[in-house]
Structure 1
Amino acid sequence: MWKLHNNGILLPGAVVKPTERLSWGRTIGLGAQHVVAMFGATFVFPLLMGLNPQLAVMMSGVATLIFLFVVKHRVPSYLGSSASFVGVATAIYSAGGNPSDLTGALFVVGLTLFMVGLIIHFAGARVIHKALPPVVTGSVVMLIGFNLAPVVATVYWPVDPWLAFTVMLIVVALSIGLRGFLGRIAIFLSLVIGYALSWVVDMVAGPLSTGADGNPVYRVNWSGVASADWFGLPPVTDLANWVYSTDPAQMASNVVGFHLPHFSLAAIVVALPVVIALIAENAGHVKAVAEMTKEDLDPMMGRAIAADGATSMLATVVGAGPTTTYAENIGVMAASRVYSTAAYFVAAVVAILFGFSPKFGAVISATPSAVLGGITVVLYGMIGLLGAKIWKENNVDFGNPLNLIPAAAGIIIGIGNVSLPIGDGFELGGIALGTIVTIGVYHLARLIAPQQMKAEADGASLIYDAPGIYTEDPEEPVSNV
């Protein structure tokens, strides 16, 4: 299925294509790195939505295998939990809904995304090109990456700033200083070293702080690892007595296991607008991968979007959250320059095994916050800058207001988590609102823009062919100007 890259020899600076692989030993190491990149968010977002993180990790692995099969192993991607629905979950619960109402609404979102993918597949990628030109896709990729910055700044980094800064320096040193395969798994090595360093700091400097109960709080806390079972499945949950609470101390009681979705029209209406963001997010992901691999992935665009919709339907029908192509793993690929889908196959299998073992999941989830802060400050920035790379490769002219203004508005909304209240208790914001604004303002601007401005934005040269007559053919002689 995968061709061995260069007879197993990885030369400095070489790019491993999606349909190639390294030796299985090295591929397993890269797969582990992808698991590390996706695990934190895939574990945390379902928890914030009142869904079961162990089930989410298991279904993310299943979804990734299906996705790779549908796209014929040409689009390297991991399908993890989506952050776009955390606000949706809060709105549905605040309105009196429960997890079955949430998963029912998210099932409909997945179905809608699946149908959009089919339309794009049969109508051709030109539909996406027209709706989402490079200025838009670059903006979406950028705001997705930079929108994650507050997670670093407010969640991971403040816990232990100097340790986070040290881990960041380790990431930089290993990513640039190491050669060969070790350089390709620099992110994973940084996590292992940071994990060990945190334990050493605990032993030398003592605990990070003292908890409200008077007990020491260590950087590495394996109490959850010790109490977790080696093997087990999430429970089947009866939602008859489920009560929603926003109290962090009661978050565990909100988490549910296997359950069937319930379809509530009110919940569906709240969730559906996020489809727009998911379409752009998936298109942006495929575009980013195409830029990195230098391959034409337009024929796979519809397949990728439809596969994401189908796997979201599968995940939500058993009670997990929807899936989406994962931004974090783009950063890993950009750092390693290994785009082999074999690594994602390994990552998916490992995630499924994690889903059967609460013990291994507890080990990963016990990764110190400072370590995640030091790693993600680099990875999230790399994701955002891939948007700039899309602009550069497509010669997007920001001297033209038609390109500048929509991108400017959308990116600031995405980065700043600007929100817009819609109805009682629901706000559209962050990535979703930034995406919608970027797309909507761009096409609105094209409707009212002068023809010459549109032609310049499209890269066309207005070249006179005869007195009073001009052509937009850039191949005409310069003397015609």
Structure 2
Amino acid sequence: MFGWTLHGDGRTVAPGKVVAPGERLNWPATVAMGVQHVVAMFGATFLVPTLTGFPVSTTLLFSGLGTILFLIITGNRLPSYLGSSFAFIAPITAAMAQGAIGSALAGIIAVGLLLAVVGVVVQVAGLGWVDRLMPPVVAGAIVALIGFNLAPTAWSNFQADGIAATITLVAVILFAVLFRGFLGRISIFLGVIVGFVYSAATGYFGVENPDTGLSPAEVIDQAAWIGLPQFHVPDFASPSTWSTIAMFLPVVLVLVAENVGHVRGVATMTDDSVNRYTGRALIADGVATMAAGAGGGSGTTTYGENIGVMAATRVYSTAVYWVAGAAAIVLAFSPKIGAVFNSIPAGVLGGVTTALYGLIGIIGIKIWVDNRVDFSRPVNQYTAAVALVIGIAGFTMQVEGFEFGGIVIGTVAALVIYHLGNLIARARRTGADDGGPIPAVGQMGGDPEA
């Protein structure tokens, strides 16, 4: 597992070559690149617990541990950093609004377990069944509604300090459009820093904690440089937990898409044989997510920021990720760092989440564009339209004491509309072939030949 071969002279990457997963540069260069990957994931990984109220240091700890678990389960053949998944923000936020961190953790564990099961099936049967269950129009709708479902939360934070929120949002956009490469990829993190500095300079550094009577600055000052993260225990006994778990389950669809995309991206840049580790990658992310939920951390996923760093450096060595995972674990044992991120004012969060939640939604739309989804077909139109409105409006439904939110209802709606619509289209076509009534052109349109 640890038998990396030295690439070239150990210092440089030859023109037109890449450092393969089983290779490495010399250890000083490897350590430096590992630290660079920590910087790349830092902003997004910290942002998720900051937005949801989860312990920052605990989330960072399980991010590092999850990365190491991922490397072990994939046989040290697939480079990846596992950071906090944005897809968990919506259900965690809903659960935390009711003060139910234990139920939220139960939901995270359920997602991890289901993802691991999907990984086992993929390992045995391949990815074809996933593509049939979630064709691009369905997958895109589900991903989009997860992001847009958070829009009211962004507006609530924005109203706390409109000026700070606007400055933060403008900074995020400017960093994204003015810079290329690494700085452009961490535009959200840089925007938070700009908003944070503005809030501190104008005296709005956050509100006093009513329980402790301490201001954010006092909390940071009193926090120790070294200490244990704050752990929490999942709660499977509460009556509300099972409806919370149902709210979390659609997140699996996002994690499957992210992991599959990550593996295919690495395979394209290194070796097609990497694709055979897709099942292991899903299992590994599932196990890492379950571990995080068991201790109080947020769910994990493969990170696009780190994929960008690999593409820019052409270094795909798994040795780099062992360094990154270890560095994240070390940083997790600094309560002062967690206190700094917990002190970010609500207005700053409102500005950055206005962009961030929208970007999550745009990822879903990009799935439609990349796969050339035909929206002239009514079944595709209604699959997307109904699911998005349910997610954006935040529909809720009570079923025998269980409350299901917009993400669950929208996901079910997308799956039912698409598959039922195409089933009817095929039945109508079969009826026409047997001499039955011929449907009008475009009447259903869900099936490719309907």
Residue 359 of structure 1: CA displacement?
1.0
Q: Deviations over 1:231-264 (max 9, x none)?
A: 22246xxxxxxxxxxxxxxxxxxxxx355x6764
Equivalent residue in structure 2 for 1:39, among 23, 43, 46: 46
State the match for 2:368 in structure 1. 391
Q: 1:408 to 1:333 in 2, by over 3 A?
A: farther
State the match for 1:78 in structure 2. 83
Equivalent residue in structure 2 for 1:434, among 405, 410, 418: 410
Matches of 2:94 and 2:283 in 1, distance apart?
24
Aligned partner of residue 139 in structure 1, secondary structure: helix
- Which residue identity lines up with residue 379 of structure 1 in the other structure? L
Q: Which consecutive residues of structure 1, in runs of 5 or more, have no partner in the other structure?
A: 236-256, 463-481
Aligned partner of residue 226 in structure 2, secondary structure: coil
Aligned partner of residue 404 in structure 2, secondary structure: strand
State the match for 1:238 in structure 2. none
Q: 1:108 to 1:141 in 2, by over 3 A?
A: closer
Residue 406 of structure 1: CA displacement?
1.5
In the alignment, is the contact (CA less than 8 A) between 1:78 and 1:344 conserved in 2?
A: no
Q: 1:131 to 1:263 in 2, by over 3 A?
A: same
Q: 1:307 to 1:265 in 2, by over 3 A?
A: farther
In the alignment, is the contact (CA less than 8 A) between 2:67 and 2:81 conserved in 1?
A: no
In the alignment, is the contact (CA less than 8 A) between 2:176 and 2:185 conserved in 1?
A: yes
State the match for 1:355 in structure 2. 332
- Which residue identity lines up with residue 416 of structure 2 in the other structure? G
Aligned partner of residue 397 in structure 2, secondary structure: strand
Give 1:203-218 correspondences, 5 Å limit. 207=204
Residue 411 of structure 1: CA displacement?
1.7
Give 1:45-84 correspondences, 5 Å limit. 45=52, 47=54, 54-70=57-73, 72-73=77-78, 77-80=82-85, 82-83=88-89, 84=91
In the alignment, is the contact (CA less than 8 A) between 2:421 and 2:444 conserved in 1?
A: no
For these two proteins, the number of residue pairs brought into alignment is 414
Give 1:213-252 correspondences, 5 Å limit. 221-234=216-229
State the match for 1:126 in structure 2. 128
Q: When the two structures are superposed, what TM-score results if normalisation uses the length of structure 1?
A: 0.69
State the match for 1:194 in structure 2. 195
Residue 122 of structure 1: CA displacement?
1.0
In the alignment, is the contact (CA less than 8 A) between 1:168 and 1:375 conserved in 2?
A: yes
State the match for 2:425 in structure 1. 449
Matches of 2:19 and 2:188 in 1, distance apart?
17
Q: Percent identity?
A: 30
Residue 375 of structure 1: CA displacement?
3.0
Matches of 1:282 and 1:458 in 2, distance apart?
27
Q: 1:126 to 1:458 in 2, by over 3 A?
A: farther
Aligned partner of residue 399 in structure 1, secondary structure: coil
Matches of 1:222 and 1:122 in 2, distance apart?
53
Matches of 2:109 and 2:377 in 1, distance apart?
40
Q: Which consecutive residues of structure 2, in runs of 5 or more, have no partner in the other structure?
A: 430-441
Q: 1:17 to 1:378 in 2, by over 3 A?
A: farther
State the match for 2:301 in structure 1. 325
State the match for 2:170 in structure 1. 169
In the alignment, is the contact (CA less than 8 A) between 2:384 and 2:414 conserved in 1?
A: yes
Residue 125 of structure 1: CA displacement?
0.2
In the alignment, is the contact (CA less than 8 A) between 2:82 and 2:300 conserved in 1?
A: no
Q: Deviations over 1:377-414 (max 9, x none)?
A: 33332222122221112110011112111121112222
Aligned partner of residue 273 in structure 1, secondary structure: helix
Residue 431 of structure 1: CA displacement?
2.5
Residue 446 of structure 1: CA displacement?
2.1
Q: Deviations over 1:272-310 (max 9, x none)?
A: 534641321212323665797795887555334322332
- Which residue identity lines up with residue 217 of structure 2 in the other structure? W
Aligned partner of residue 421 in structure 1, secondary structure: strand
Matches of 1:62 and 1:283 in 2, distance apart?
20
Matches of 2:353 and 2:99 in 1, distance apart?
30
In the alignment, is the contact (CA less than 8 A) between 1:190 and 1:375 conserved in 2?
A: yes
In the alignment, is the contact (CA less than 8 A) between 1:116 and 1:305 conserved in 2?
A: yes
Residue 126 of structure 1: CA displacement?
0.4
Matches of 2:176 and 2:121 in 1, distance apart?
41
Matches of 1:366 and 1:282 in 2, distance apart?
29
- Which residue identity lines up with residue 83 of structure 2 in the other structure? Y
Q: 1:433 to 1:183 in 2, by over 3 A?
A: same
Matches of 1:189 and 1:322 in 2, distance apart?
22
Q: 1:53 to 1:420 in 2, by over 3 A?
A: farther
Matches of 1:210 and 1:358 in 2, distance apart?
19
Aligned partner of residue 250 in structure 2, secondary structure: helix
State the match for 1:473 in structure 2. none
Residue 143 of structure 1: CA displacement?
1.7
Equivalent residue in structure 2 for 1:411, among 388, 397, 410: 388
Aligned partner of residue 202 in structure 2, secondary structure: helix
Matches of 1:194 and 1:19 in 2, distance apart?
41
State the match for 1:144 in structure 2. 146
Equivalent residue in structure 2 for 1:306, among 267, 277, 283: 283
Residue 16 of structure 1: CA displacement?
12
Residue 373 of structure 1: CA displacement?
3.1
Residue 116 of structure 1: CA displacement?
3.0
Quote the RMSD (CA, aligned, Å). Answer: 4.6
In the alignment, is the contact (CA less than 8 A) between 2:123 and 2:279 conserved in 1?
A: yes
Q: Deviations over 1:124-152 (max 9, x none)?
A: 10010011111111112212222233332
Q: Deviations over 1:433-459 (max 9, x none)?
A: 322322233222222224667996565
Residue 65 of structure 1: CA displacement?
3.0
In the alignment, is the contact (CA less than 8 A) between 2:164 and 2:347 conserved in 1?
A: yes
- Which residue identity lines up with residue 281 of structure 1 in the other structure? V
